[in-house]
Structure 1
């Protein structure tokens, strides 16, 4: 081992196997088999020699003539084994990978072979194209069709004497490989975590002939761009048009990766898909593989049992993807099985979803609080389709969104709400008021009490105006409450949270007094608000609005109001349990939000990358406000909304390919 005369120094992004090839060739050995016999190296396994604790690493790094920095570069080229839980990982360039993602045989780029060294990406299963030359990796000799024997290669000549450097040119798009190489240079662990989660969700091993397109899709998703995820799901849905999105997205919805699951929830919820009436004979839905947990999500327990008893029962099939170890099942005629089961919800139109700036599911309990009804009522409304919602296998459970609640409230009204808002507690008077109106009866069972729902357009003008009035006005006549008012009543009068009442006392706006109960002796009593201070607080409240009220009036999200206007000190605010701003400040926020936007919001709302925004800034197409501008916000890059929209529109018009479709040309 000490007789070696040549020790290779690693080139940028060079793989360990390439170092080993150069070491053997530089010392006069024709093949690695001869080299290993002479140096007593055991090179039977393709993966182990690439690890830092291997005999190959010791051979190349323990030479006395190596400088400390040269030795460090050599050691950094090798994979560092680490243990996460019970699974072995390898750390490469600061990123931890499961050992199963490494190839167990050689795949090389003919262009790299012509250059004399191999790029490190050839060692990964999820990379099939060289990021430098754009050539597809060779795994078999084009002449003898045998797998490339890395121990018997002689100057990149196969044992059959074919020169692999002269292999027929097989070019492919190298965009995905370049993204992989850049993420590895940056040590971007989040990128590769999302990539591996996407690979496990799409299970690229289930369709070997389309691995390249599926890998490219996974790389696009791994960028963390929601628009890219939506685009890839649209491609997949286009290939399986009659497959319900519940099955299409099941591996993503149940993914342990929170980003992937969150994107899938939004796509699943906002997509509109009509029920198909036929199943194409060449549909490949029967090739899709699902875990038992995913089948439980797709079908109810009764439907799954019926499916397993039928002629088209789910059959167990092994995964071709070595990174996935769970059992998988195939269901022939999956599309037909889904659109024949009654519990699967379909819409009346087909409409792809549009990524939202913020999307958040809320439980049916929270929805009940907003509509001031019971969770049971929300469940019944969702089950009948009047309120859009779905059952997710997440802690949220039965979920809906604030937008869906608003859409329901704009179109429908519950009978109990009419009774509450009208103040008619007498059932007979309420029946007379609603006499002749067409209503919808919601029943979950045959003999259950019907839940009456009315369409707002069928109500009288007087009743609609009563219902459209805010539940609690900001300013109300105090009424005759005597000298003291309870906290709850004070909160209702001020249209604030009860917890804000105590905070108003700390500001000196409200005064509290302790009134002992009349019938209990030696009792400390309970605190009340004085009526006088409540009148003063109402006068104070006329000049202030809550952040939630600003959102309702301007459409600006509460998170944006806090981060862009309040935390930066652009407008003054008062922090109680909730945050309040003056009416003048709310007007400033409204004007600023309609006229300006930030670079991050511009990128998200227009679905363009940060690279495009940076390019427009360099070209001077977008000009952030200067620090001396009256609308400048400290620490926030603000641009005129119209200027940003026009710049992006012109940029897209000048490009030969639309910017929204530049993620990948591969179709699943």
Structure 2
């Protein structure tokens, strides 16, 4: 195939697949399969990979001599780049990044967009079921034959059965949420898409197999908007759908979200909603259809309840396919048996309260001028209204609940003022509302039973800001406290003593028995040592590579020293040395793995002929038993090799794992055909290989 005769210019917010379709059509090809055959094989392994930046089609479009700088920039903006953040793959568009699992793996089209000749970018995402431009639901199956649309054999938007997809029946739907997502995409609202991903993973309505996916996605979009009223409204709809299920089972995925706003909304809804314990199981309840993760079931079910009666649930959503889900029919009855789940005396849905302010038991203890243990005891004995949240907050209360407590009760030590005589200090005590609790409750008095002067003095004391009493500094720390201070495991303390970081402990008389303790000065010295060291995960995040690469290339070869604990630690100097070396140098195995190239091909093409020379072993940056290459020289040679070839079609920037076998077969064939030929004559060598994104 020669060069292309026509390079299309992208429309505003056009998808990469639409640009590929227009390129194939305007150059005289019926479909992408014929276009791929004429190009010598474009390796269209999947719909998602064909649209990424650096793919073969992107390389063809931008390498044509007809393309100027402005058009090249427009083409680059259409193709998303592959990025990896915190161990997860994302597609980086011009303004926002989207989790890679949110890209469609099957084609979905809008009939009106097909009539206009180009497709809007929103048809590429799983969270978009309605076209934001025309308000029509996307079609993924051919109305003529009923089969899934084959994106490689689509001929001018005609199915393989010759049905014209542009004449598909129109299915209008509410496009308000689709426009909301489209607006966030245009403005680059990254926070919205991060919340949308969290809501899609947490939404019980989307997890259920019988759920209407379009309605569930609209609910997730409203929740991700950051509007508290919208979140409460959608949560009420889910709760009405499962009337016998405790709200904790519905909200537990949202309470475990990473987004703080979603967690705050969930806590407020959980605290302000009232729900009575059902006497029987409602026939309309669809709780048996809900899947839960193992961690969620441990919270909502009775402690020590096994999962033997649970049924593994199929992974419906691509976003949550990495998690294992279980169905436990009937989940309503199992949750009702959990004594830790609290029920109320009446039913009432929650509504947004602008004055709602959650407080942890430590914050409540600071306001009440008592210990956190007293606050938890007040909550357990139902003196102070509070909720047990399965998060890091554990017990929480609110400012309004705390105000009700202070207006109703007074502590015994507050009522015993110095101005009262011994006879006047006898006040009726409040019995515990819950007498079956073993722990002793603090002694309280009803304020209405106290004399007016005592109540005035209590209010005066509470309103007067007291200076906090200075707490004496601890002189000794136990081994467990030392491990927590150093952010290490308990069994690492013995190893730190062996290498001299920690001094030998002293035998101290504890509360119940003798215990080993470390002085605070020794712990501070160990803390200074710990600050100057990183774990492998921290070092990998700093360098920008995988931790196994650091382990294999730098630690096992002795290039940098390390400290072997339960976690391998590296000094800051060693991390800086590895970062510099990784930026300037690479190895034969490293460069071939990064660029998805066969190692034998790279060695025969560049190392054996002497084109590229590894560092000598006496070089200060050389690694023992490793062939170290200068990264810039290796990339320069590879770019020059692929750029000078006459047919730019075979210059593949990215190859997925599934296509490497095909690339190997092509290279094996070329190796046999190209024996005796020079490097400039080997046009077919390296077919299907190239740079990584």
Q: TM-score range by the shorter chain?
A: 0.5 to 0.7
Higher RCO (C-alpha 8 Å, min separation 6): 2
- 1:441-520 pair list within 5 angstroms: 441=432, 449=440, 451-457=442-448, 459=449, 462=452, 465-466=455-456, 469-471=459-461, 495=465, 497=467
Q: 1:124 to 1:450 in 2, by over 3 A?
A: closer
Contact 2:129 / 2:138 at 8 angstroms: preserved in 1? yes
Pairwise mapping of residues 324-343 of structure 1 onto structure 2 (< 5 A)?
324=320, 325-343=322-340
Give 1:138's aligned residue: 139
What is aligned with 1:409?
Answer: 406
2:438 & 2:117 partners in 1: Cα distance?
A: 80
Say if 1:378 and 1:3 are closer, same or farther in 2 by CA, change over 3 A: closer
Q: CA deviation at 1:158?
A: 0.9
Distance 1:209-1:140 versus aligned 2 partners, 3 A rule: farther
1:144 Cα deviation after fit = 0.8
- 1:209 Cα deviation from its structure 2 partner: 4.0
CA distance in 2, matches of 1:164, 1:472: 74
Q: Calculate the TM-score normalised by the size of structure 1.
A: 0.66
2:149 and 2:424 map into 1 onto residues whose CA distance is 88
- The runs of 5 or more residues in structure 1 that have no matched partner are 475-494, 500-668
Q: How does 1:224-243 map to 2 (within 5 A)?
A: 224-243=226-245
Q: Is the 8 A contact 2:6 2:23 kept in 1?
A: yes
Q: Secondary structure of 1:90's match? A: strand
Equivalent-residue separation in structure 2 for 1:413 and 1:389 (angstroms): 18
Structural mapping, 1:145-544, within 5 Å: 145-202=146-203, 204-207=206-209, 209-302=211-304, 304-305=305-306, 308=307, 313-324=309-320, 325-357=322-354, 359-419=356-416, 421=417, 424=420, 426=422, 429-431=424-426, 434=427, 437=428, 439-441=430-432, 449=440, 451-457=442-448, 459=449, 462=452, 465-466=455-456, 469-471=459-461, 495=465, 497=467
The answer for the alignment partner of 2:679 in structure 1 is: none
Q: Deviations over 1:190-219 (max 9, x none)?
A: 110000010011152433541111100111
Question: Normalising by the residue count of structure 2, what TM-score does the alignment of the two structures yield?
Answer: 0.63
Task: Name 1:553's counterpart in structure 2.
Answer: none
- 2-structure distance, mates of 1:364, 1:207: 39
- Aligned-pair distance for 1:284? 0.8
Structure 1 residue 450, shift from structure 2 partner: 5.4
Is 1:80 the equivalent of 2:81? yes
Paired residues for 1:114-129 under 5 Å: 114-129=115-130
Q: Aligned pair in 2 of structure 1 residues 446, 255: CA closer, same or farther (>3 Å)?
A: closer
With over 3 angstroms needed to count, the CA separation of the structure-2 counterparts of 1:257 and 1:22, relative to structure 1, is same
Counterparts of 1:446 and 1:356, CA distance in 2 = 32
Give 1:350 shift.
2.4
Matching of residues 526-565 of structure 1 within 5 Å: none
Equivalent pairs counted in the alignment come to 467
Q: Distance in 1 between matches of 2:243 and 2:453?
A: 45
Partners of 2:138 and 2:463 lie apart in 1 by 69
Q: 2:271 touches 2:387 (CA, 8 Å); kept in 1?
A: yes
User: 3-state SS of the aligned residue for 1:281?
Assistant: coil
Deviations 1:14-43 (A, max 9, x none): 111111111111112212111111122222
Q: CA deviation at 1:372?
A: 3.4
Give unpaired runs (5+ residues) of structure 2. 470-693
Q: Secondary structure at the match of 1:52?
A: coil
Contact conserved, 1:101 with 1:323, CA < 8 A, in 2? Answer: yes
Task: State the Cα deviation string for residues 218-240 of structure 1 (Å, max 9, x = none).
Answer: 11111111221111111111212
Change (3 A) 1:473 1:79: closer
